[in-house]
Chains A and B, each alone.
Chain A
Amino acid sequence: MVAAESSRLLAAHQPVRVELAKGRPRAQGAELAVLLRGCLSPAWVDLTLSASQAAELAFGLCLRDYRAPQIRFHDDDDAPLPLPDRVVIRCADPAAAQAQWEKRQAVAHGVFLARDLITAPGNLLGPSELAEQAQALSALGVNVEVLNPTEHGLNLLAAVGQASTRPPCLVVLRWNGGAPTERPLVLVGKGITFDTGGISIKPAEHMEEMKGDMGGAAAVLGALKSVALRGAKANVAGVLAIAENMPGSGALRPGDIIRSYKGLNVEVVDTDAEGRLVLADALAWACAHLKPRTLVDAATLTGAVVRTLGRHHAGLYCNRDTLAAKLLKQGKAEDEPLWRLPLAVSCDDDFRSDVADWKNCGWGKVPDNDDAARFLQHFVAASVPWAHLDIAGVSERDEDHAWGPKGAVGFGVRLFDALAGG
């Protein structure tokens, strides 16, 4: 796709006038993505746009036209028609538009990586395959390290993955585009490549959606890809807590007590509340090793957040009002909306254990989304500005939406890229 080219009228095709909703060029681009399907190539778009508007229009067009990877023998007869090979967006300053579009395209590639990974089935994307996807970013100048949880005292992460024949890992990615003295933005993602619930197994209905329980890790990976591709002048680190949660003869049992990386002992009463376990170790490890300027984690963490906020806002929990305000603002600007929920000390009562420091969840009528966030807070150094995004309700959509087709949204990539800046 070409974002801009010198203005030259096209004689071969009949010009078509379409009505676009008044709004931001990015939204208009997304709208055009549907309208232009099946058009002859090249298609020309003439909206008298500035360079930055043209880049934004191309960004929207590109995001909306995402096609999930297909694993088919027969072609899909119902697939939407493709966009023209070339879409030419006329604008005042093509060279400037092209430069800006390349930055935007980097973000789109990050979003697409996240979507691809979320869509991939559990047999094709297990812990090692997800780690390999992270390692592939080293080609872009990202430093990637894969840690064995048991060798590093990440016992909660190890415990969640212990029944699977595919071992868990902690992946650390570092993009050092900023000044060497600048402390990094650290992004932490929950990467359960498939979540059966373990011995506390989930009901069968809709369990297939649990292939997407690594949506947080996918968002972090997508964000790292986008900052690296656009050469962001910022220091950004990613930490992925990767495991497959399976039942099996060697599985973690309800009631098991595990000593976390931080040293706190956790009584695992529900093996299906595993996300907070792997994140607890990842957050504690990040605080101890990465000196974060800001720490943000993303996780498809609780069903309760879906009941609370539905499918249009991710839950935001934050220990600093300034960081919360910044995230809310950027979420709104990127149309990845957040809604702040409380980090409440009173939640501690829900998951106090009789035999260990904490249980991993409370049973019954407790606000599990709030409890999970508060649980995580016990593993984050109080000195670190930290936010937790519970994206369980927004990571996937069951119908087409403004920025893409139904399925994986890649929620968080644009927000994290904006947060990284540079």
Chain B
Amino acid sequence: MKISFAKPHLPDQGAIVVGVLENKVFTPTAQALDDLSGGGIKRAVDASKFTGKKDQVLTILAPAGTKVSRVVLVGLGKADSIDAQAAQSFGGTGLAQVLSSGDSQVAVAIDAVPGLKISEADFAANAAFGALLRSYRFDKYFTKEKKEDKPSVKKLAVLTAAPGAKTAFAPLEAIAEGVFLTRDVVSEPANVIYPESLAAQCKTLTELGVEVEILGEKQMKKLGMGSLLGVGQGSDRESQLVVMRWLGAKDKDAQPVAFIGKGVCFDTGGISIKPAGGMEDMKWDMAGAGAVIGAIKALAGRKAKANVVGVVGLVENMPSGNAQRPGDVVTSMSGQTIEVINTDAEGRLVLADALWYTKETYKPKIMVDLATLTGAIIISLGGEHAGLFSNDDKLADKLTKAGTAVGESLWRLPMGDAYDKQLKSDIADMKNVGGREGGSITAAQFLKRFVGDVAWAHLDIAGTAWSKKDTATCAKGATAFGVRLLDRLVADHYED
């Protein structure tokens, strides 16, 4: 879908999306359309339950007196509640109504209603961003889809008087590119995206000026990454550790910010195998790595003035004649030993070595890891919030705020010695599981043993990485949760 910006006008073909404020208060464009149709729009509104509440929609087909194919009214709520997210939601919701309608063109009218929380340029840019995000569809494997089922919209024009809209949209478009890369790699099945092919995806970021380094099993063995390697040893596919460096700060040697992602490209559970029902979802057990890759793409795409390192541990967790066994004791790169009680608690084993490697190699200012780590977090927080765990209150606060700003909400959960004790092993430094109680917390405690004194946060995104229903800015499927959040964290705190 091609996005363009144009001066306000009433189009003479295609669909138009216009806003209506709460209590049926028409925006100027809505009013203009109503005038053209001789009050037809108002009559349609009065005949419906549409009141202009946020994200309500009403589609009116080919109103008389206008030349458009349909008018999509989208509720904006109160003017003073229109922020960047509301603007994205407006654009996304509007586009969703016409995406597969048969129309190939859609215009989105931006009206600078009094009381807006953001500038009109930002309103326009974010509406375009929301529509762009909503337009994403992972459909490459449909070979026989009927034409009428395919999305029809090819062009979207944002109608705005604000001259800065296009400029404001440029960095958002770069972020969307990052989001799309994440959604692509998360959605791909595991026979297509596996450690080496995902590493190859990372390698494509070199086009944007990212330095990409790929470590294979031989190099990891040399580094002593017994924890990560144990997870991948049952698979025919070679484990990989990929480092992506975006050095956008003036001082290329300045301490970087580091993002670490869990990349279990498929998680059968290994010898502690999962039940068959729903196991196909485990293709997205690399969504943490996916988010880190997408975030690096977004940052590089918009040329962020910061040094950022992304590290992803990529493995496939399979049972086989060479697989890791429950009870095995492995030695991590840190020297600490781990008794692997359950081979299905493998994400933390991958992250343990990835975190330690990052800390030792880059001495980062902060480390944030993302992982679809525990089923327990879905029980605790559902799909609305990702779990946030941190050893640093300031970092936790920054992350929470960034999450709220971009609509990727976090909720902080506790850590402490009492939870740490649940990891006690009889023969090694720790077990990889701490029992049923507080499963997400003990997983975080496990990770904490591999971060030293670095300010660190862990985001458990098992509940938020994949959506079973459409939202305003995301069709059901991979959400790319974390990409916008990490980008925002850098933008707010770590750029020159």
Residues in A lying within 8 Å of B, measured CB to CB: 68-74, 78, 119, 121-124, 163-165, 194, 196, 201, 204, 207-211, 246-251, 406-407
Contact = CB atoms under 8 A, between A and B. Distances in A.
Nearest to B319: A247
Contacts of B329: 71, 121, 123-124
Interface stretch (B5-13, B320-328, B470-478): B320-328
19 contacts: A68-B427, A71-B329, A72-B428, A121-B339, A122-B325, A123-B324, A123-B325, A123-B329, A163-B321, A164-B322, A194-B325, A196-B271, A204-B326, A204-B342, A209-B327, A211-B327, A246-B319, A246-B322, A406-B426
A246 B323 contact: yes
Interface string B329-344: 1110011110111111
Given A69-B427, A70-B428, 15 more contacts: A68-B427, A70-B427, A71-B428, A73-B331, A122-B327, A123-B325, A124-B328, A194-B325, A196-B325, A201-B271, A211-B325, A246-B322, A247-B323, A248-B322, A249-B321
B321 A164 contact: yes
A119 B322 CA distance: 20
A198 B324 CA distance: 13
B103 interface: no
Contacts of A71: 329, 331, 337, 339, 427-428
A285 B265 CA distance: 46
A407 B426 contact: yes
A101 B217 CA distance: 51
B335 A73 contact: yes
A157 to B, nearest CB: 16
A163 B325 CA distance: 14
A208 B337 contact: no
10 closest residue pairs by CB, A with B: A248-B321, A204-B272, A208-B327, A208-B326, A123-B328, A122-B325, A211-B327, A163-B321, A207-B326, A165-B322
Contacts of B344: 204
A228 B343 CA distance: 39
A210 B326 contact: yes
A196 B337 CA distance: 22
B327 A194 contact: yes
A69 B428 CA distance: 9
Greatest chain B CB density within 10 A among A208, A210, A211, A249 is at A208
Contacts of B322: 164-165, 246, 248
B249 interface: no
Nearest to B326: A208
Interface residues of B, number: 33
A121 B426 CA distance: 12
Contacts of A163: 320-321
Given A165-B321, A250-B321, A210 B327 contact: yes
Contacts of A201: 271, 273, 319
A123 B321 contact: no
Contact of B337 (A73, A194, A247, A250): A73
B269 interface: yes
Contacts of B336: 73-74
A247 B320 contact: yes
A165 B342 CA distance: 21
Nearest to B449: A74
A235 B326 CA distance: 38
Nearest to B337: A71
Interface string B148-164: 00000000000000000
Contact of A249 (B320, B340, B343): B320
A1 B322 CA distance: 43
Given A68-B427, A165-B322, A123 B335 contact: no
A204 B325 contact: no
Contacts of B339: 71, 121, 208
A79 B323 CA distance: 31
B327 A247 contact: no
B427 A251 contact: no
B327 A74 contact: no
Nearest to A70: B427
A78 B424 contact: yes
Nearest to A78: B424
A68 B334 CA distance: 23
Interface in B264-314: 269, 271-273
B188 interface: no
Contact of B328 (A122, A209, A247, A407): A122
Nearest to B431: A208
B429 interface: yes
A247 B270 CA distance: 10
Greatest chain B CB density within 10 A among A69, A121, A122, A204 is at A204
A171 B319 CA distance: 28
A124 to B, nearest CB: 7
A251 B429 contact: no
A166 B117 CA distance: 67
Contacts of A406: 426
A163 B322 CA distance: 8
Greatest chain B CB density within 10 A among A72, A124, A210, A249 is at A72
A408 to B, nearest CB: 10
Given A68-B426, A69-B427, A207 B321 contact: no
Contacts of A208: 325-327, 339-342
A108 B304 CA distance: 67
A246 B326 CA distance: 12
A164 B339 CA distance: 21
B299 to A, nearest CB: 36
Interface string B452-479: 0000000000000000000000000000
